[in-house]
Amino acid sequence: MPNRLKNMQTEKLVDVVKNCTIYGYDASIRDKAIELLKERGVQTEDLVYFGKNKGHEIKHAESILKVFNRSAFLALLCYTAFLLQLLIQPTEENLILLTFGRISTLILYVIFLIGGTFSIVRFNKVVKKTENSGDVIMFILFGMPFFLIVYLHFISKMREDLARMNA
């Protein structure tokens, strides 16, 4: 790879420096690209900082997205279990168990919904989006009755923001 670096255009070398961790390159390749950029007269101080910082931000955003997916999946399971329990007719024998099941799945659903909401806020901070409050309000208000639709909407928005970060 170092020999290929010499033949690369300056823009490609800048890309290697900025996205070294994303491409899975070794630190020596990044250092070689920085050396070549210096030889070509490019100011590299900003590139060194930006490359490290952007790679870290992208990995952090990806980890938040995974947490959001996990919270949303668990919330969906609890929501489905709650809806299924609503279909069961209570009898004297299963009234206490059914009531406990409904309450516990509803409480777990709310906990995972709040966890998903916090993930949205943290993700928006990482991608530097300012419209946190509208997203959070929408997720809470519409998340209860239309959870699957809201989840699919937010996961697509978050993936678009992550792709924009990678660009």
Q: Does 49 map to a domain?
A: no
141 and 86 part of one domain: yes
Q: How many CA atoms lie within 13 A of 160 on its CB side?
A: 7
Give the total number of structural domains in the chain: 2
131 and 72 part of one domain: yes
101 and 150 part of one domain: yes
123: alpha, beta or left, given left = phi > 0 and alpha = psi -120 to 50?
alpha
Q: Does 111 map to a domain?
A: yes
92 and 17 part of one domain: no
18 and 60 part of one domain: no
Q: Does 50 map to a domain?
A: no
Predicted TM-score of the model (pTM): 0.62
Q: Does 12 map to a domain?
A: yes
Q: Does 51 map to a domain?
A: no
Backbone angles phi, psi at 129, to 5 degrees: -90, 140
Across 9-17, average pLDDT: 73
Cα dist. 101→74, 89, 104 in Å? 16, 13, 5
What digits encode the pLDDT tens for the residues 72-131? 999 989 989 998 999 998 888 889 999 999 999 999 998 998 898 889 888 888 887 766
37 and 71 part of one domain: no
114 and 92 part of one domain: yes
Structure tokens at 97: 């168990």
Q: Which domain holds residue 80?
A: 56-166
